[in-house]
Amino acid sequence: NETEVPYYAELPPDTIQKNSEENIVEPEKLTERDSLITEETAAETPDIYALEIGVFRKKPRALNAQRKVISKLNLPVEIVTQWNRYHVIITGFKKTEINRYIPEIARLGYDDISVIKNYGKQQ
């Protein structure tokens, strides 16, 4: 004798509790001073770019590239030694200046140029 199981069950309605006025908690009211508090951040500094114009095994070749760029373009040039290689890096560019200088650097014979973003912030 099988009994049929209904697909739903009748449940009694939820019990509703009435809150008295004293149990109601108001959120804190913000004062004008509180609403104006903002996190102070340093002024956004524009990104600074550098151009790596070559990596050399021998230091004299890196020094030659450095002198050439300084004398022809009057730009600041660093030589960074890493893994027994000398990286010649022209520093201090804004994004808008990069495209102007790349052709000039290529005319000096350095056409394998890498752009480094935020170069000054990495050091």
pLDDT tens for residues 18-47?
Answer: 655 555 555 566 555 555 555 555 556 678
pLDDT confidence band for 90 (50 / 70 / 90):
very high
Backbone angles phi, psi at 83, to 5 degrees: 55, 45
pLDDT confidence band for 119 (50 / 70 / 90):
confident
CB 90 within 8 A of CB 50: yes
pLDDT of residue 123: 47
- Distance between CA atoms of 78 and 63, rounded to whole angstroms? 9
Nearest to 120 by CA among 53, 48, 51, 57: 48
pLDDT confidence band for 5 (50 / 70 / 90):
low
Mean pLDDT of all residues in 59-64: 97
Select the CATH number that applies to the domain covering 49-122 from these four: 3.40.50.300, 3.10.290.10, 3.30.70.1070, 3.40.1260.10: 3.30.70.1070
Mean model confidence pLDDT for the chain? 80
Residues 6+ apart with CB under 8 A from 97: 49
Q: Where are the domains of the chain?
A: 49-122
pLDDT confidence band for 109 (50 / 70 / 90):
very high
User: Could you give the percent of the chain with pLDDT greater than 70?
Assistant: 61
pLDDT of residue 120: 72
Mean pLDDT of all residues in 39-64: 84
